[in-house]
Amino acid sequence: MTGIIDPGEEPADAAVRETYEEASIRAVPEKLAMVQALAPSQYDNGDQAQFLDLVFKLRWRAGAPHPADGENTDARWFSLENLPDMPQNMLNRVHAAVADTPETTFSWAQPTTVVQEIDEPRGFSASAAAALFDMDGTLVDSTSVVEGVWAEFAQQHHINLSELLDYAHGRRTMETVERFLPEGQNVQLATSVLDEKQLTRVDGIVEIPGASRFLRQLAGSPMAIVTSAPRQLALNRLRAAGLHVPEVLVAAEDVRTGKPSPEGYLEATRRLGVLPNECIVFEDAEAGLLAANRSGVRRTVVVGRHASSTTTALDRILDYTNISINRNGRTTTFTQKAESHPRRRRHVIPFEQC
């Protein structure tokens, strides 16, 4: 049955009404089976229209089919194995309605990337009782090592490297291995091999500009590092970059669930003896930014150029060369001066991060 919704009528009510008016069948709607935009059409008078087609599955309650309103010449039941000839678009509607699935069928031309304009780091001032830092990409630049190790893994198992790196950044090694390792392979063994490779490779690891000076200025103030790396790997990279290692370091083995779970940041606040809403977090990756936001911290600062819908309202620094601190009792104020002539940059980001 097909028909047009009357003004003010609900679509499901229209389906029920049209079924009774055209075939004298009483039925009730069970699900919205398909949504599609039909091709634009033009009437003889020049008017143009495009219809949104809604396909409902209805269940029979009463009545025997017959052409009730004079618009049709015949109406009868057909088995799915013996359907009459009909256009493909009508057959698609039937298949969508009888499909054994609760989901609605629809089409979507999903983009692969979007272009987002972000401001260069603007000025900000934020006060907190404690500072929490991610490590890789936030304090330490280990890009060459990390991407090299994952490239070997991707080549060995025929995995798309770009997709793997997008997912891996900010997450524990095992969680990435679990997602990408082909079925039937030993996840724990593959994880151990990857961790061992990263543990021994420190060439090319450097600090994010200004990080060493910044951490020295914070010495004596409550601070912690919350990383997805195993503890020994984190220590090796921090030392290779010449960075101060704070007393509180929450590593991969210290939590049951890694980022984007807030567990690591909450564990850091517990060890420091502060509340989440007394803390400022410095993070560079999507998983870590989500973890920080979910932990309920006072302020989250993006380090670097990562852009997504998560970062829209967050403060940003490119590195630590233009940020200063001022202590007042148990509170530290972090300040970044605004640029005289702020610029906007265009960033192409994966659609799934929007």
C-alpha closest to that of 343 among 122, 72, 78, 163: 122
Contacts of 16 (CB under 8 A, 6+ apart): 27, 28, 29, 58
CATH of domain 11-98: 3.90.79.10
**Whole-number pLDDT of residue 311:** 87
**Strand locations in the chain (E):** 26-37, 41-42, 48-49, 52-62, 113-119, 124-128, 130-133, 140-141, 206-207, 223-226, 248-250, 279-283, 299-303, 315-317, 323-328, 331-336, 344-350
Domain formed by 114-142+205-353, architecture: 3-Layer(aba) Sandwich (3.40)
**Whole-number pLDDT of residue 338:** 75
Catalytic residues: 134, 136
* Equal CATH topology for 11-98 and 114-142+205-353: no
**Domain edges within the chain:** 11-98, 114-142+205-353
Note the pTM of the prediction, 2 decimals. 0.60
Helix/strand/coil for 216: helix
Q: Rounded CA gap, 252 and 234, in Å?
A: 9
Q: What is the pLDDT along the chain (354 residues), one digit of tens a residue?
A: 889 999 999 999 999 999 999 999 999 999 999 998 887 888 889 898 889 999 999 999 999 999 988 888 899 999 988 888 887 778 888 988 988 888 887 776 655 555 555 556 678 999 999 999 999 999 999 888 888 888 999 999 999 988 898 888 888 899 999 999 998 899 999 999 998 888 888 888 999 999 999 999 999 999 999 999 999 999 999 999 999 999 999 999 999 999 999 999 999 999 999 999 999 999 999 999 999 999 999 999 999 988 888 888 889 999 999 999 999 999 999 999 876 555 555 555 555 554
**Whole-number pLDDT of residue 166:** 86
**Whole-number pLDDT of residue 27:** 96
